[in-house]
DNA sequence: TCGATATTGAAAACGGATTTCAAAATACAG
DNA sequence: CTGTATTTTGAAATCCGTTTTCAATATCGA
């Protein structure tokens, strides 16, 4: 069993929540996908195989995933919440293509360190951060050039 | 006349939009405040002195400010749009206190440079970026410690 | 001043997130 | 195994900030 599955089951037990077939289906589907789907898109995907599962349940379950730490909520400013699988300790930020919506993950330890420096300078205790670079991915950039 | 006022008036002329008393009132009020008010909060402030001006007009005018470049839209993930006055060329990022809502601006040229490096590595053309550090400001951190 | 055009404020519509509620499923004590 | 208290489910309703609609009003330029 995957580590995230264990974490989730533990969380259910701890909170005296119930282990339902819907939750397991959603969990497996969530761990299988590794992009940054919005609740809506994830629901539409899932519905193909499991038409019985309602949007509300998907939404509530994704929230549960976030609570127990196996999912991270992301908001890229397009008015849709997105969820991604969270792997332990690893933190990453995103390049977001404003043309095609492509999302590229990156890690940069130097930036993280500089953030800590900034926080310290302002006597600020960081709990979380978010860094997103918006622009054009290679493909869209080439296209744009070609269209001039 | 402030530079931003000129920019806005120029923009109105250029787009053949009309110079109304409401727009001027909203413009002056906007330039006077320098925090990061949400549309709602800004409207509530303004209403004290100008009860006749409607929310829709405030909303539309703030959008105009953003279009013509004298305002920047910010979204700190609390579901409310915020607008801040934009000063030429200067770019800054934010520390956001999740306890009291205080917002501290900062600039860090090294981080900006590292962002460019990251983008280049991924053949990505950056148009914009957003960096926010969430946590506790000094006051709230001290309080939290005291409450243990 | 007139007439075309843009703007206004109130209210309605919108869209995604969240909640409600009655029926169904689950856990667990006996 | 029950029986029962509790949680969960799916559909629909609600929420809440944003945006649009529309008829009345204001502005601008000839």
pLDDT tens for A37-88 read: 999 999 999 999 999 999 999 999 999 999 999 999 999 988 899 999 998 7
B17 touches strand C (CB under 7 A): yes
Give me the pLDDT at residue A147, please: 62
Q: Is the pLDDT of residue B148 over 70?
A: no
Residue B67 phi, psi (nearest 5): -60, -40
Q: Is the pLDDT of residue A148 over 70?
A: no
A vs B: CB pairs below 8 A: 115
- What band does A34 get if pLDDT is binned at 50, 70 and 90? confident
Give me the pLDDT at residue A84, please: 95
Q: Is the pLDDT of residue A104 over 80?
A: yes
- Cβ–Cβ < 8 Å for A36, A86: no
Classify the phi-psi angles of A113: left when phi > 0, otherwise alpha if psi is within -120 to 50, otherwise beta: alpha
* Chain B residues touching residue A97 (CB < 8 angstroms): 124
Give me the pLDDT at residue B147, please: 63
Between CA A139 and CA A143 the distance in angstroms is 6
The residue among A76, A78, A28, A31 whose CA lies nearest residue A53 is: A28
Half-sphere exposure of B130 (CA within 13 A, CB side): 17
- Give the three-class secondary structure for B102: coil
Enumerate domains of chain B plus CATH numbers.
3-85 (1.10.10.10), 93-146 (3.30.1490.190)
A35 touches strand C (CB under 7 A): no
Give me the pLDDT at residue A143, please: 82
Give me the pLDDT at residue B9, please: 96
CB burial readout B68-95, b (16+ within 10 A) else e: bebbbebebbeeebbbbbbeeeeeebbb
Residue with minimal CA–C1' distance to C19 is A56
- Give the three-class secondary structure for B111: helix
Across the range A105-129, mean pLDDT stands at 96
B35 DSSP assignment: S
Residue of A80, A125, A128, A143 to mutate, interface with B, max B Cβ within 10 Å: A125
E strand residue ranges, B6-47: none
**CA dihedral for A8, A14, A17, A20, sign (positive or negative):** positive
A79 DSSP assignment: S
* Chain B residues touching residue A119 (CB < 8 angstroms): 95, 133, 135
Interval B103-143: pLDDT, tens: 999 999 999 999 999 999 999 999 999 999 999 999 999 98
- What band does A125 get if pLDDT is binned at 50, 70 and 90? very high
- Cβ–Cβ < 8 Å for A144, A98: no
Q: Is the pLDDT of residue B29 over 70?
A: yes
């Amino acid at each position: 069993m995957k580590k995230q599955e264990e974490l989730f089951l533990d969380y259910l037990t701890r909170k005296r929540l119930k282990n339902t077939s819907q939750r397991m289906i959603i969990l497996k589907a969530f761990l299988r996908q590794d992009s940054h789907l919005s609740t809506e898109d994830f629901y539409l995907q899932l519905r193909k195989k499991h038409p019985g599962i309602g949007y509300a349940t998907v939404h509530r379950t994704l929230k549960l995933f976030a609570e127990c730490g196996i999912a991270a909520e992301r908001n890229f400013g397009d008015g849709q919440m997105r969820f991604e699988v969270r792997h332990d300790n690893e933190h990453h930020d995103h390049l977001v293509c404003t043309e095609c919506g492509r999302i590229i993950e990156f890690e940069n330890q130097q930036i993280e360190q500089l953030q800590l420096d900034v926080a310290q300078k302002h006597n600020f205790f960081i709990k979380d951060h978010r860094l997103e670079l918006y622009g054009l991915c290679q493909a869209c950039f080439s296209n744009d050039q070609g269209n001039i």
